[in-house]
Structure 1
Amino acid sequence: MKVKQISVFLENKSGRLAQVTRTLGENGINIRALSIADTTDFGILRLIVNDPEKAYQILKNSGFTVSATDVIAVEVADKPGGLAEVLQLLDRAGMNIEYLYAFLQKSAGAALVVFRVERLDEAVKVLQESGTRILSGNEVYKL
């Protein structure tokens, strides 16, 4: 139920984001979701792609500082309060959410959200026990 996320450390300079996306595109890597957290000097680009192992190697071989992290992709009811319901499940279980971001594509009647939590395996168990759908890596990579 885990999804591999690629994180790229980027200097906050003109053209760096374009370089990453061009490098991935030229190598047949399709971006499924992304998030950027930045400061004045640098940023962290987080990506869900169709082939994370290949993307990791390509970016590393192209000189980027890159890492891979396990996250979970969760279906959230596409209605007011849908995200709050999932967040409350994790809160009641004492789970800290490090960050989250939404997918660019929706599932039938639901939004898709990527979560990074402290205790990933426990979070998966809590969400599954509540009936929350968690997508597998293969499901996400094929979206």
Structure 2
Amino acid sequence: MYDAVLVPTDGSEGSATAAEHAIDLAQRHDARLYALHVLETEQVVDQIPEFEDSSIFDRLADAGQQAVDDLRAQAEDAGIDTVTTAVKQGVPHEEVVDYVERHDIDVVVMATEGRTGPSRELIGSVTESVVRASPVPVLAVKVGGEA
């Protein structure tokens, strides 16, 4: 049913929990596993004019690379030998959907904080945006949130 499983990660504990589900799906279906981190730099560039020349971008990129490397290690510990990783720059939900389309992904597994009420409406959700725009199923793994 699934030949390619994508798990976007921000390096958080929630992403690691979602990765557990993605790893399980990949194992059950003998599927390829993909890990993606998106650097959301648009807001930072607007706030810091000399952003492109600063080391902030390098630190963000390093943190993103560490996030996908950690996910790769988590998958390898579970017995998955090959994990394709990528660090992209852009609007997170747009980059996730673009990655799905470019890599023939069958399912996306993402963490969601499970916010409700006004905080959900104010803050928004990358996962919710992916659910709405994705051409493939999205498994949203609730990892915390407000009551």
TM-score above 0.5, yes or no: no
Q: TM-score, normalised by structure 2?
A: 0.25
Q: Which of the two has greater strand per residue?
A: 1
